[in-house]
């Protein structure tokens, strides 16, 4: 089964509301083994919404429309579906009971415009909405399935869970497939180099393999489609083994694991202690390490310094004129002061105003000192200041992960 999702509302197009419904629905449909190839957002316009539904029906056999089921003039999903499918809208008694329910429960008169919510495309199946006044609708028409769901997240999720998912589960019957994903997380290897090493694995149809670059990391998502969960997991495991043969030395974790967690495991495994010195990243590195599971076993703490050296604490003695040398000296001093096995120091500067540096970005210097042995690197990172700092922290974590 192929699905296309349509979300309505001009407020979505204007960015005034975050569309959390999309992610939730994608997860539910994926768990049912339903493929999603397109997702569309349309403003409150009858013709454009009707056109989007017609277009979706040419690409998918399950079309789900979210939002636009309220009582006002700009709620147009019912009308758009009826126009696209070429059917009439009729007052449905079951839908009318749902619309009236909350008003009667609160002993309030129902405004006349709420009667609009009882309109259903002829032949449609009404879906209950116990916490709102907008019934959902399923319309099976010309070998296509159309679903209307109210937009408010609480109503949306309840209807998806209680009405739509069970309907689709029954509809799929023996055709239901399991879709299972696993993510491998890499650092120290760029996306283009990962692409080159993985080669033909990236062209696999089932399981599929999709790389995504995220700051200083590359995530490889393996997705298998099978008749059972056991088969899907086995397919993922076999693909993972092939990937590890090619890029295994760069894989620091899987699924929800973070790079800071990987650092924690490395330092605990090798019985090492750590401190940090930050004169550019504002404590972001310290935060990542301090909140990682097991941090109390290896992370002693960190020094967060401002960009103005003149107001640094008197016990921070750095004579180096450049950020690169500063990082090296800070790493040595941090290890000495905290009496740890290792120290990581980060300094840097944004490139704004520097000749020849028109692209937004900055230069970050990262030094690591372990048992008195210093290493320092210079990293030119692109992006706005917050991006450069976050990328700098990820690079620092990558270097710390490799210390062990």
pLDDT in tens, 10-55: 999 999 999 999 999 999 999 898 999 999 999 999 999 999 999 9
Q: Report the alpha-carbon distance of residue 363 to residue 379 in Å, rounded.
A: 6
pLDDT number for residue 21: 96
pLDDT number for residue 68: 95
pLDDT number for residue 131: 93
- Per DSSP, 124 falls in state P
What are the angstrom distances between the C-alpha of 326 and each of 108, 309, 333, 395? 71, 10, 10, 18
Q: Report the alpha-carbon distance of residue 404 to residue 399 in Å, rounded.
A: 10
- The percentage of residues in the chain with a pLDDT greater than 90, rounded to a whole number, is 78
For 319, the token pair is: 């004579």
Helices (runs of H) and strands (runs of E) counted in the chain: 13, 17
pLDDT in tens, 259-289: 999 999 999 999 999 999 999 999 999 999 9
pLDDT in tens, 74-98: 999 999 999 999 999 999 999 999 9
- What is the DSSP pairing of strand 208-214 with strand 125-127? unpaired
The CA-CA-CA angle for residues 380, 244, 195, to 5°, reads 50
Q: Mean pLDDT for the chain?
A: 92
Q: Is the pLDDT of residue 356 over 90?
A: no
pLDDT number for residue 352: 63
pLDDT number for residue 319: 77
pLDDT number for residue 346: 96
Going along the chain from its start, the domains and CATH numbers come out as 2-175 (3.40.980.10), 178-254 (3.30.70.2860), 259-401 (3.90.950.20)
Query: Could you tell me if 280 and 364 are in contact, meaning their C-beta atoms sit under 8 angstroms apart?
Result: yes
Q: Report the alpha-carbon distance of residue 277 to residue 297 in Å, rounded.
A: 19
pLDDT number for residue 357: 53
What are the angstrom distances between the C-alpha of 117 and each of 79, 162, 287? 11, 20, 50
Q: Is the pLDDT of residue 221 over 70?
A: yes
């Amino acid at each position: 089964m192929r699905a296309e999702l349509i979300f309505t509302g001009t407020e979505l197009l204007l960015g005034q509301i975050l569309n959390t419904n999309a992610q939730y629905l994608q997860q539910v449909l994926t768990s049912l083994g339903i493929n999603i190839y397109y997702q569309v957002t349309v403003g409150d316009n009858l013709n454009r919404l009707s056109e989007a539904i017609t277009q979706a029906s040419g690409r998918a056999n399950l079309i789900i429309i979210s939002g636009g089921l309220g009582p006002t003039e700009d709620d147009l999903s019912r009308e758009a579906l009826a126009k696209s499918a070429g059917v009439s809208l009729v007052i449905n008694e079951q839908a009318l009971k749902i619309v009236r329910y909350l008003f009667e429960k609160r002993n309030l008169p129902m405004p006349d415009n709420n009667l609009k919510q009882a309109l259903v495309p002829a032949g449609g199946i009404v879906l209950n909405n116990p916490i709102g006044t907008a019934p959902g609708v399923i319309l099976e028409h010309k070998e296509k399935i159309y679903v209307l769901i109210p937009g408010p997240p609480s109503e949306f999720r309840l209807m998806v869970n209680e009405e739509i998912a069970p309907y689709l589960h029954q509809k799929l019957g023996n055709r239901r497939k399991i879709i299972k994903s696993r993510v491998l997380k890499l650092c120290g290897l760029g996306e283009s180099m990962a692409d080159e090493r993985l080669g033909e694995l990236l062209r696999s149809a089932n399981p599929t393999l999709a790389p995504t670059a995220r700051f200083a990391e590359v995530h490889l998502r393996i997705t298998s489609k099978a008749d059972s969960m056991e088969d899907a997991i086995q397919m993922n495991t076999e693909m993972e083994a092939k990937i590890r043969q090619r890029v295994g030395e760069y894989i620091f974790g899987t699924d929800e694991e973070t790079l800071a967690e990987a650092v924690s495991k490395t330092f605990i495994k090798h019985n090492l202690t750590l401190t940090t010195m930050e004169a550019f990243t504002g404590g972001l590195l310290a935060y990542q390490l301090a909140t990682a599971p097991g941090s109390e076993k290896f992370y002693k703490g960190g020094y967060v310094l401002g960009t103005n050296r003149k107001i640094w604490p008197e016990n921070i003695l750095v004579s180096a004129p450049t950020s690169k040398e500063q990082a090296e000296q800070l790493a040595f001093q941090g290890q000495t002061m905290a009496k740890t096995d290792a120290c990581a120091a980060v300094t840097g500067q944004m490139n704004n105003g520097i000749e020849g540096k028109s692209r937004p970005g900055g230069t970050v210097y990262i030094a690591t000192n372990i048992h008195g042995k210093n290493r320092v690197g210079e990293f030119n990172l692109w992006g706005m200041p917050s991006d450069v700092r976050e990328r700098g922290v990820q690079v620092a974590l990558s270097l710390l992960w490799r210390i062990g």
